[in-house]
Structure 1
Amino acid sequence: MATDPHSALGRYLAKLPYVLGHQLSDDQVVAGLFDPHGTAIAHATERWDPIGGPGRFTGRFAHALQDVGPIDHAVVVGYGPDGGAWACDLATELREVFDARSTVLHVQDGSWRVLDNLTETWGPSTALPAQPPDIALLGTPEPAASRDDLVASVKPLPGPIFADLDHAKATHLASLSPATCADLARSALDQLARGRVDNVPHQQSLAHLVNTSIIVRDAVLAHAIQGTQHRQRVDALVRTFRAAPSSLRPVLATTAAAAAFLTGWHPPQVEGLLRHTDPTDRLTHLVQLGHDRGANPAPARRTILESADNQLQEAEAAWTTNQTAKRTTQPTDARTSTQHPAEPPSTDTIGI
């Protein structure tokens, strides 16, 4: 690893679009916060608000990082003709809030420069370096051309790929227990996560099951955000939302937005998914609140994992009790049973 600080800052700027998921435009400012070991704690970018200044930006950081360890260093980057002044203003605010030293950078027209904190003057401009070679080796996706393009990357497809289940299949699924439905939905999600070529029947079943039961929705959400395959599962959720008919989209969008937020997807992608949710849904409200505040998703992730499992167990117990009660209270006619030979139950009523 090179020890030249200038080269290290150049590589940092070259990596920023990959870290944030999109190329930066001339109205944006970026802040990265680092711990005493030089490990990145958080990155955020916003279009600069000339009226509100840096207050909203630092407020979001302060709320998100209130339970995080000490912050040693802030790197602030302003883009465009006014980016240098914006970065200076934000760095001043961050130093006051977090009591951390700062490095201030300005990027414009393919070149960058760094502020000398002692003299408060800008150093010479240097051409931005090319893409770091380790980016390609890690298989990091190419950044979107802009923030707006990243938001648009999760919007619904021009037309749905599948329709809702037909009545017979929907009726059959309605006869199954909550645990069975959750198992079917999680299995469909896993199948979709295994590849990029979507299986329409799996998407159809997953979309239907998530839409017909909050218990199943939360079980799918919990399954999507845990384990080493969480990124593939969340991606499968997003693809299912994008391919769904309009009637099924709001619940799928909420589920996908929650999963994306809880697993650290880029904020513009979470924003794009939230645009298609039902704003009155409680989960939508919680995700929107966390997104707007830049909240740390870790506490919410733990809560989801625990509550989803408990709710599914309670729903399964209640369903089993109800089925037992139905069987024990069903009236029988002794005369009818002796006059007519017993017939096997119809397959349409098994489990009801």
Structure 2
Amino acid sequence: MLSEKDFIAKPLSPSIENGSFQWSAPSNIALVKYWGKKNKQIPANPSISFTLNNCKTITKLSFIKKNSSITIGATIEKFSFDLLFEGKPKEDFKPKIQKFFERIEKYCPYLIDYHFIIDTQNTFPHSSGIASSASGMAALSMNIMSLEKALNPEMNEDFFNQKASFLARLGSGSACRSVKGNVVVWGKHDEIVNSSDLFGVTFPSNIHPNFNNYQDTILLVDKGEKQVSSTVGHDLMHNHPFAEQRFAQAHQNLSCIKTVLETGNLDEFIKIVESEALTLHAMMMTSLPYFILMKPNTLEIINKIWKFRNETTIPVCFTLDAGANVHVLYPENVRDTVLQFITTELVGYCQNGNYICDSIGTGAIKNL
């Protein structure tokens, strides 16, 4: 089992003068939620997620050696980088990248040898209400690992992906689940082989065909700023009156959903996934300070989904992120019927009628 020390890069001679890499990495949606963390981005409970396919961040990392004859501008900062979003400078993103570099310097000491240009864009609108930190940090981490592999060509693919997930976690916890797909577990769990608090692992069992190309239609109920940041939300689990029960519940639900993914029991899948979504919001409603992250239209959509499922027996369900948006999950073989239901019954509850069609994907991809 790998430890933090295994991810500290051996002394590498920065023999590469310049170059660039480009990776795309997807967002993911947790089925069993991670909520609450310890120091160094360690989760308080394990989680499991579907890796998405269409909601991606595409990041190009260009680099040039600082002592190169090419002038990169005077700087007294340890880390030297420019950040572009959709080709334009984005100064308000820079502090998060600066903090990320500081966190990973111990594991990637070669970062101080280069000036970087980070050019990033999302396949979904930036103001869509879809969190881009997971996909963004995963894409950046894959690029950094491409540089490390160029400096250390003997690195194998498994270590490459594990360290990329390890680094991504230090930028945004759930980002560690966006490196590989299609179902990823993060957090130590007795029934998941090789599971770790340090990085995400691909679900180790065979997944039932019922979940092949599972669909996720994201209903954008509210595209505004999150009412409470994820960092603040996680911190509210410290001294939460129901924290320990919640962490135990997550372990139990992960055991149950492991069996569900292996057997294809969609009724049980629905129970676990919807319960987990509502539990996440219940934790926020019972913390101090307390928050209600749902909007009235979130509840309208949930009730419409329940009514539709009861009347049709079609196995469609919802999950939620830490906000008002609703992820509608359903098998591919009922896609046409569910999309018709969404467009006729649910889109009216979305801000400006906006929604995104997505499905299970396979993880980060290197763009040649």
Whether the TM-score (by the shorter chain) exceeds 0.5 is no
TM-score (norm 2): 0.26
TM-score (norm 1): 0.26
Higher helix share: 1
Larger RCO: Structure 1 or Structure 2 (Cα < 8 Å, ≥ 6 residues apart)?
Answer: 2
